[in-house]
């Protein structure tokens, strides 16, 4: 069963308060892709004002964020690695194991404890937001769409917890996770895990370990993660008829270990593999494939040929 709900197949112009220009991959697909070529701009001046406030808020918040690096509460790294391992851990253990509901390997719940120390949020809240994103992708109900400004989709949406409730209602799309005691435990004790990691880092190396282990690294991991929400809905190419603004972005894919093939992900939400072409680097998939080959990964789903032909822009 796929965790994520499909995006709207034919978004209405009224759902988008801003203008985007999308270039089809070929002239043959121009007519089929006409609903997304030009999205009518809203006459409502509130959007411009709201976008301006979001951008100003982000700039102010980001300055405070950088000044506060030495004393951040949330750790951005697991105990065992550098920035790349930290980013990779969030993607493999949280996105593949939880959001895509793949039994990647035995004891996957305990890997989510490692994810909790990274500082990206508890699995239940994270998955809820991600499901809403797919359900209402690039509409007025999307929790983090670039339609309200690049910086809004990148990070400023995080600082207003009421935004998602106002748009989507109270979280009611994670009942499967809320029934599992382990995930409820992580949700109720989330702050303890990064604080515990911070205490351990301080004990091992003092204040410098706090700066690098909880400050510099959390900025790195956060921004790489957020680029999937922002850059991958603005820059790149589309290969599939997803009815949204998702893009395949190669440089985000390199930084985020395959997550940059975002149009692929929106087209085949159940797929454990994002880099569907041989040349699309997907480090996360390489690990999942390895685990599958030695019998440690189960229920690993990939898009069927018929489904790919149906979703292709050239079809």
Q: How far apart are CA 16 and CA 19, in angstroms?
A: 8
Report if residue 66 sits inside a domain. no
Which has the closest alpha carbon to 187: 130, 128, 121, 127?
A: 121
Q: Does residue 243 sit within a domain?
A: yes
At residue 15, does pLDDT exceed 50?
A: no
User: Residue 183's pLDDT is what?
Assistant: 86
pLDDT band at 297 (very low <50, low <70, confident <90, very high): confident
Q: Does any domain span residue 38?
A: no
Asked, for residue 63, whether it belongs to a domain, the answer is no
CA 229 to chain centre: 6
In a domain, 50, yes or no: no
In percent, how much of the chain has pLDDT > 70? 62
Give the pLDDT confidence score for residue 249 in this predicted structure.
98
Burial (CB < 10 A; 0-12, 13-18, 19+), residue 128, is: buried
Supply the pLDDT for residue 35. Answer: 45
pLDDT of residue 114: 54
Q: pLDDT per residue over 22-80, tens digit each?
A: 444 444 444 444 444 344 334 334 444 444 444 444 444 343 333 222 222 222 223 33
Q: Look at residue 170 in the predicted model and tell me its pLDDT.
A: 81
Q: For 99-123, how does the pLDDT look when each residue is reduced to its tens digit (9 = 90+)?
A: 444 444 344 454 555 555 566 678 8
pLDDT in tens, 187-232: 898 888 888 989 999 999 999 999 999 889 889 988 999 999 999 9
Domain of 249 in residue numbering reads as 72-311
Closest CA to 99 of 123, 133, 135, 121: 123
Contact 124, 186 (CB under 8 A): yes
Number of domains in the chain: 1
Does the residue 34 lie in any domain?
A: no
Higher pLDDT, 82 or 157: 157
Tokens of 295: 């019998």
pLDDT above 80: residue 252: yes
CB 312 within 8 A of CB 241: yes
What pLDDT does 159 receive?
86
pLDDT reported for residue 121: 73
Of 74-78, 94-98, 137-141, 274-278, where does mean pLDDT reach its minimum? Answer: 74-78
Q: Record the tokens describing residue 216, joined without a space.
A: 């510099």
The strand pairing partners of 38, in sequence order, are: 21
The verdict on residue 62 lying in a domain is no
Residue 21 is assigned to a structural domain of this protein? no
Q: What is the Cβ-side half-sphere exposure of residue 265, based on CA atoms within 13 angstroms?
A: 32
Whether the pTM exceeds 0.75: the reply is no
Report how far residue 57's alpha carbon sits from residue 315's, in angstroms, rounded to the nearest whole number: 43
């Amino acid at each position: 069963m796929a965790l994520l709900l499909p995006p709207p197949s034919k978004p209405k112009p009224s759902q988008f308060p801003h203008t985007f220009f999308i270039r089809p991959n070929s002239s043959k697909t121009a007519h089929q892709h006409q609903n997304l070529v030009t999205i009518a701009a809203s006459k409502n001046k509130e959007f411009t004002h709201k976008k301006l406030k979001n951008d100003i808020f982000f700039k102010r918040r980001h300055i405070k964020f950088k000044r506060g690096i030495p004393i951040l509460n949330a750790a951005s790294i697991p105990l065992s690695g550098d920035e790349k391992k930290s980013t990779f851990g969030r993607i493999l253990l949280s996105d593949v194991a939880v959001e895509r509901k793949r039994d990647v390997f035995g004891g996957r719940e305990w890997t989510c404890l490692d994810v909790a120390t990274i500082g990206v949020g508890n699995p239940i809240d994270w998955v809820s937001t991600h499901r809403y994103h797919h359900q209402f992708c690039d509409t007025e109900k999307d929790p983090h769409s670039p339609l309200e400004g690049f910086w809004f989709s990148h990070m400023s949406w995080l600082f207003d917890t009421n935004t998602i409730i106002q748009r989507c209602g109270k979280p009611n799309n994670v009942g499967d996770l809320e029934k599992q005691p382990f995930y409820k435990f992580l949700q109720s004790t989330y702050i303890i895990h990064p604080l515990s990691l911070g205490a351990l880092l301080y004990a091992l190396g003092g204040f410098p370990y706090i700066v690098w282990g909880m400050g510099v690294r959390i900025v790195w991991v956060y921004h790489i993660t957020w680029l999937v929400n922002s850059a991958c809905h603005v820059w790149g190419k589309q290969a599939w008829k997803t009815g949204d603004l998702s893009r395949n972005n190669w440089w985000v894919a390199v930084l985020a270990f395959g997550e940059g093939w975002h149009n692929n992900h929106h087209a085949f939400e159940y797929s454990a593999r994002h880099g569907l072409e041989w040349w699309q680097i997907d480090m996360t998939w390489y690990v999942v494939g390895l685990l599958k080959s030695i019998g440690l990964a189960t229920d690993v789903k990939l898009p069927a040929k018929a489904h790919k032909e149906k979703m292709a822009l050239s079809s």
